[in-house]
Amino acid sequence: MAKEIRHMAIGLQSSGKTTFAAALWYLVDSKEIVTSLRKGKHSGDYRYLELLAAEWADCWRVPRTLSEQHENIVMNLEDQATGQAVVLQFVDLPGETFERAFATRQVSRKVADAFEGIRGLMLFVSAGQPRDDVTLLDVAKTLSENADEDKLVEEAIATVNFDPAKTPRQVQIVDFLQAIQAPPMEIDVQRVALIVSAWDKAINTDPAAWLHDKMPLLDQYLSHLKVEVRVYGVSAQGGDVPEKGVSGDEGDRQALLSVAKASERIQVVGNGVDQHDLTHPVRWLSDLEGL
Ligand SMILES: Nc1nc2c(ncn2[C@@H]2O[C@H](COP(=O)(O)OP(=O)(O)OP(=O)(O)O)[C@@H](O)[C@H]2O)c(=O)[nH]1
Ligand SMILES: [Mg+2]
């Protein structure tokens, strides 16, 4: 048996990484419900994870990961059936790392090193974010018959400077996946678990169909990679929750607080997963199913 199997969780800004980490930690720490992986042997300092899990349990939005905040989330898990050790690491910098990598074609040595020896990727995209790939063709469809299209295009080009970070998410993600597998990083990814977060916001009932409809470029890229891919829908929060200390819309907070076991707010969809088991995709990434 391999000493430990390591996976990396990645995703652009606000793709749901920290909320997933908070809910997963709560799940394996509280043991309220049965999960396919359990908490493994821990030696590090888990105060940050405990803080996130406590905010999550109280139905507050987890804090955004700021660029100066070094969030080194490494979770040691263990397979219930075989005892195999599995490590899930969240690259220790925020989502902005990926926008920056796309714009500059560079990642820091620290980020590159963190990817070494990983077996699986957990890739986050969100069903809760608005479309970001509207084109001039889409705009033209909404214009009235006598609108001056040429003038509108000229004005748009004159007023908007190109900002690489505003490149559609699908393009940035495909580029990042391509770049980490090419020299000099040459990461040998064996499986990809695509997590569609904020699944309570999705209209589709099938996560793979969501990917096909909403992110066709990423869907095509993944289907042509020589790695196994699974798509899961995950509502780690269970609905909309407010930011702590900010008055206003409570969202679904009261309804979520009334669920007897906080772990049961979590909803996971796809690939025969047990309804609340966030560890299911991590176990599949580790090729432990059926053992
Ligand atoms: N409705 C709903 N919203 C969610 C869910 N999970 C996360 N969100 C929201 O999605 C937004 C981003 O979530 P985060 O977990 O902070 O995402 P992140 O990838 O860690 O973002 P960065 O730290 O900026 O890289 C937040 O506003 C969350 O409240 C969910 O299950 N349902
Ligand atoms: Mg975060």
What pLDDT does 157 receive?
A: 75
Residues 6+ apart with CB under 8 A from 197: 15, 16, 19, 20, 124, 125, 126, 127, 128, 234, 235, 236
In a domain, 290, yes or no: no
pTM attached to this predicted model: 0.93
Question: Token pair 């994870």 is at which residue?
Answer: 49
Percent of the chain with pLDDT over 90: 65
Among the listed residues 200, 15, 206, the one whose alpha carbon sits nearest the alpha carbon of residue 123: 15
The answer on pLDDT for 39 being more than 80 is yes
Q: What is the mean pLDDT of residues 76-82?
A: 95
Return the structure tokens found at 98.
């990926």
Give how many domains the chain has, as a whole number.
1
What pLDDT does 286 receive?
A: 97
Q: Which atom of ligand 1 lies at the shortest distance from residue 95's CA?
A: 25
In a domain, 225, yes or no: yes
Q: Cα of 221 to ligand 2 centre, how many Å? A: 25
Return the structure tokens found at 236.
């780690």
C-alpha radius of gyration, the chain, whole number: 20
Among the listed residues 151, 128, 124, 126, the one whose alpha carbon sits nearest the alpha carbon of residue 140: 151
Q: Cα of 163 to ligand 2 centre, how many Å? A: 22
**Shortest-distance ligand to the CA of residue 98:** 1
**Shortest-distance ligand to the CA of residue 20:** 1
What pLDDT does 148 receive?
A: 79
231-264 tens-digit pLDDT: 999 999 999 999 998 988 999 999 999 999 999 9
In a domain, 87, yes or no: yes
What pLDDT does 46 receive?
A: 82
The answer on pLDDT for 73 being more than 90 is no
* Cβ(77)–Cβ(28) below 8 Å: yes
The mean of the pLDDT values for the chain is: 90
How many CA atoms are closer than 13 Å to the CA of 153, on its beta-carbon side?
A: 9
In a domain, 249, yes or no: yes
Task: Give the residue numbers spanning the domain of 82.
Answer: 5-285
What pLDDT does 67 receive?
A: 61
**257 exposed, middle or buried (CB, 10 Å; 0-12, 13-18, 19+)?**
middle
Q: What is the mean pLDDT of residues 123-132?
A: 93
145-191 tens-digit pLDDT: 777 778 877 887 777 778 887 889 999 999 999 999 999 899 999 99
233 in contact with ligand 1, CB cutoff 6 A: no
Among the listed residues 84, 14, 144, the one whose alpha carbon sits nearest the alpha carbon of residue 286: 84
261, amino acid identity: K
Report the 10 Å Cβ neighbour count for 159. Answer: 7
Q: Cα of 202 to ligand 1 centre, how many Å? A: 14
In a domain, 68, yes or no: yes
What pLDDT does 127 receive?
A: 97
64 in contact with ligand 1, CB cutoff 6 A: yes
97 in contact with ligand 1, CB cutoff 6 A: no
55-72 tens-digit pLDDT: 999 999 998 877 655 567
Return the structure tokens found at 116.
């070494």
What pLDDT does 227 receive?
A: 94
Q: Cα of 241 to ligand 2 centre, how many Å? A: 15
* Cβ(117)–Cβ(89) below 8 Å: no
Among the listed residues 290, 288, 285, 289, the one whose alpha carbon sits nearest the alpha carbon of residue 7: 285
Return the structure tokens found at 199.
């699944």
Per-residue H/E/C for the chain: CCCCEEEEEEECCCCCHHHHHHHHHHHHHHCCCCCCEEECCCCCCCHHHHHHHHHHHCCCCCCCCCCCCCCCEEEEEEECCCCCEEEEEECCCCCHHHHHHHHHCCCCHHHHHHHCCCCEEEEEEECCCCCCCCCHHHHHHHCCCCCCHHHHHHHHHHHCCCCHHHCCHHHHHHHHHHHHHCCCCCCCCCEEEEEEECHHHCCCCCHHHHHHHHCHHHHHHHHHCCCEEEEEEEECCCCCCCCCCCCCCCCCHHHHHCCCCHHHHCEEECCCCCCCCCCHHHHHHCCCCCC
In a domain, 291, yes or no: no
The answer on pLDDT for 108 being more than 90 is no
In a domain, 12, yes or no: yes
The answer on pLDDT for 28 being more than 70 is yes
Percent of the chain with pLDDT over 70: 95
CATH number at residue 174: 3.40.50.300
